[in-house]
Amino acid sequence: MAYSEKVLDHYENPRNVGAFSKEDEGVGTGMVGAPACGDVMKLQIKVGKDGVIEDAKFKTYGCGSAIASSSLVTEWVKGKTVEQALEIKNTQIAEELALPPVKIHCSILAEDAIKAAVADYKKKHEG
């Protein structure tokens, strides 16, 4: 698999690997994918009182592009409001990382992970 420099960089030096406590009020956790499909992404966002994402962490079981896609979105969501984070599209991720066509699903999964994390955060703050 011929990967771009950016994918290799994120793969070799993944950003923001780790976990927050799921129970934390400000934390939204999204887990998408399935082991049988070859990728599982867990993305967590930590949202401040002002609705801005202060920090993000990820763990990914998957190929090089899955790891790179999730590493990239942890960087991108930081400093955005949760609504702005939802505007990140898989095509932007795929373009930034120059993903080959067979790996586009990794960028879709990363977009889904953001949505899932935001949904989890919103659920905690409903009503």
Partner 1 sequence: MLKFPIYLDYSATTPVDPRVAQAMIPWLTEHFGNPASRSHAYGWEAEKAVEDAREQVAALVNADPKEIVWTSGATESNNLAIKGAAQFYKGKGKHIITVKTEHKAVLDTFRELERQGFEATYLDVQENGLIDLAAFRDALRPDTVLVSVMFVNNEIGVIQPIAEIGEICREKGIVFHVDAAQATGKVEIDLQKLKVDLMSFSAHKTYGPKGIGALYVRRKPRARLEAQMHGGGHERGLRSGTLATHQIIGMGEAFRIAREEMKVENERVRALRDRLLKGLQDIEATYVNGDLEHRVPHNLNISFAYVEGESMIMAVKDIAVSSGSACTSASLEPSYVLRALGRNDELAHSSIRFSIGRFTTEEEIDYTIDLMHKKIGKLRELSPLWEMVQEGVDLNTVQWAAH
Task: Select which of 8, 34, 37, 98 is catalytic.
Answer: 37
* Residue whose pair of structure tokens reads 């400093």 in the numeric block: 79
Q: Which residues pair with 58 in a beta bridge?
A: 17, 43
Question: Alpha helices, DSSP H only, in 1-103?
Answer: 5-12, 64-77, 82-85, 90-97
Whether 63 sits among the annotated catalytic residues: the reply is no
Which spans of this chain sit near partner 1 (rule: CB under 8 A)? 1, 11, 14, 17, 19, 31-42, 59-64, 66-67, 105, 108-109, 112, 116
Q: What angle do CA 91, 35, 63 make, to 5 degrees?
A: 50
**Cβ 19 to partner 1 shortest distance, Å:** 7
Q: Which is nearer to partner 1, 8 or 79 (CB)?
A: 8
Task: Select which of 106, 110, 113, 118 is catalytic.
Answer: 106
**What are the catalytic residues?**
37, 106
